[in-house]
Amino acid sequence: MTPAEVIADIVRRSGALRAHNIWIAPPDDAAIAPWLIYLSKRDMETAPLWGVPFAIKDNIDLKGSATTAACEAFTYLPERSAHVVGLLLQAGAIPVGKTNLDQFATGLVGVRSPYGACTHPDRPEHISGGSSSGSAVAVSCGLASFSLGTDTAGSGRIPAAFNRLVGYKPTRGLVSTTGVVPACKSIDCVSLFARCIEDATLIADTMIGFDEEDPRARPNSLANAPARSGIWSGRLKLGVIAGAHLQFFGDPAYHEAYHRTINLLRQSGVETTTIDFTPFQEAAAELYRGPWVAERYLATLPLIEEQSAALLDVTREIISIGRNPTAADLFRSQYRIAELRRATNRALADCDALLFPTAGKHYQLREVEDQPLVSNSNLGYYTNFMNLLDMCGIAMPGADTQSGLPFGISLIADGLQDAKLMAIARRIEATLSPNGSAHPAAREYRDPNSLEVVVCGAHMSGLALNWQLLERGATLVCETHTAARYRLFTLPGGPPYRPALIRDKEHGQSIDVEVWRMPAENVASFIELVPPPLGIGSVDLVDGRTLKGFICEHGGLDGAEEITRHGGWRRYLQSEPH
C-alpha cells in the first residue's frame, strides 16, 4: 500500500468512529495532503519512520494545525511544529490529526473535555483514561501506528493501561517540551503510545534529541539510547509493593489480574522483593496537595483570570487552587521531595527495577460522573510520584481480567535508565505477550553503568591484589570457568606473583576464574594498574558469554612457567609453596 492509501483508510475509519470523540482535529485528506507531499521528498533509506502515521495530543504543536488544549478560547495557530514533532517529521512519519484530551491536561480520566468524553468502541461504558485519552484510543483502534501524549502525573501511562498499549514516559528533559502547552512546566514530559516495546524503542530513539531552546533539556548518553537497549537476560529482580499498600479501590477483577500477572512472571524466573511504598505515596501527595498546582495556574494565565468561564468547572476548580501556595510552601515541598528521593532510591538499590500496577481500578463513566475528584485521585495512586522523583517508566499490558478488560503494569527506574528499562520491558513482554514484539531476539542488554571483569589470578577473592577491585566498589558476581581453549602461565618476578592467560584452541583447557562487577566510572583507573605484558581483552566463559578480562601478550611469556595442568591460579598456589 502507498502512504496515500493508508491515509485514505484512516480517514474513512475515523469517520465511522466519530461518536467516540477521539479527535479534536480528525484525519482529513486536505489537511494531511501537504505532509504526503513532504514525505515524497524524503529518502526512504534515511527516514526510519517513512510513511508511518501518527497522532498528536492537542496540546502539542503541529505547524498548520490549531492547538486548543481542549479549550476553544485558548486556541492558537502555531508557526512551527513542536521540536519532538519536527524530529518525527524528519524521520518520515505522517501526522494524521490532533487528539482529544482532558482540558489543559488536567486529569487522568479522559472525560474532562468540551469535545466530549473519549471512549473506546469496544468498552464505551468504561473510561479510556486521561489526559492523553484520544492519543491512546487512536492507536488502540488502529487509526495511528503510534501517538504522542504528555505525562505529568500519569497521563501517558493510565490510558496505556486501559487500552492494552505500551506507554513510555521518558526521563524528564530527554524529549523536548518546546512547542508543548505546559501543565506543570518544571516536570512535564512528552510521552509515547505504541503497540509493542520494539515499536516504542524505535520511535523513542527518534524522539530523543537535545534541544538548545528547551531550558530543561538534558543530553542523553550513547549508553542510554533506546536503540542500544537490547533484551534483559539472566537474573531479573523486581521490586513490588507489599500487600498492605496495594490498593484496587473495590475492583476485585484488577486485584486478581495483578496477582496472576505477578505469578506468571515468577514462574518465568523473575524474582520479586517487597519495597516500602510509603515514600512514593508521600511524594505523590505533593503533586496536587502541595504547591506544584501553582504551575498549572501559571500555565493558564491570563485565561483563568480573564475568561474563567471558558474552562470546565472541574478544570477551573483544580487549577484555581494554584493561586494559594506561597514561596515558602514551594521550598518546603522541595526539601521534602529531596528527602523522599533518597528513600525511594534505597528501594531501587535492591532490585533492577520496580513493578507496580499502572492503575488500581478501571472506572466506568458513571462512577467518574458520581465522584470526579475521588476517582481521578485514585487513578494517580501508582503514577503521581514519578516526575517529582525524576524517574522514568514504561506502562505495558499485564494479564487481562477474567472478563477480558485490559490490565496494565508499570516498570519504573531512576532517571536516565531508559534503555535499561526498555531491556527489562522486552523481557517481560516476551513472557506475558510472546507475540507482542516484532523482534524478540534482540541482543543481550549490557548495563552501561558497570562492567563485568574476568580475573584469573592475584585479583581473585582473598588474594594479594583483590583490594584493587574492592576499593573501586567492585562486587563478586560468580566463580566460574573459561571455555576449554586457554592455557595458564606464571610470570617471572614478584611478589605479587601473577599468572598469564592466553588463548590456545588446540592445546587449551578450562581455567578457574571469577567475574567481578565494577562501576563504569572506576574502570579506567583499574586498567591503569595493569602492567605489561598483561592487558584487558575478551575472555570466553564456559557458559558461552564473552566478557572483558585479563589476557597476556604471547611475546611476554619469556621465562614464564606453564601451569595449565593445575586448572587455575588458586589451585596452583595450593599445590606448591610460594
Contact of 515 with 451, CB cutoff 8 Å: no
Instruction: List the catalytic residue out of 57, 98, 169, 361.
Output: 57
Distance CA 217, CA 174 (A): 6
The catalytically annotated residue of 14, 140, 155, 437 is: 155
- The letter for the amino acid at 138 is A
Cβ partners under 8 Å of residue 256, min gap 6: 401, 402
| Residues 272, 266 contacting (CB under 8 angstroms) | yes
How far, in Å, CA of 40 to CA of 58, rounded?
Answer: 26
Question: By C-alpha distance, which of 338, 335, 475, 349 is closest to 414?
Answer: 349
Examine the residue annotation and report whether 229 is marked as an active-site residue of this protein: no
**Catalytic annotation present for 40:** no
d(CA 430, CA 231): 10
Please confirm, yes or no, whether 63 is among the known catalytic residues.
no
Alpha carbons within 13 A on the beta-carbon side of 456: 35
Q: Are 486 and 449 in contact (CB under 8 A)?
A: no
Answer yes or no: are the C-beta atoms of 172 and 415 closer than 8 Å: yes
Q: Which of 14, 113, 128, 131 is catalytic?
A: 131
DSSP conformational letter for 509: B
Asked if 414 and 422 count as a contact pair (C-beta separation under 8 A), the reply is no
Residue 256: how many other CB atoms lie within 10 Å: 15
Q: State which H helix or E strand residue 5 sits in.
A: helix 3-16
Catalytic residues, by residue number, are: 57, 131, 155
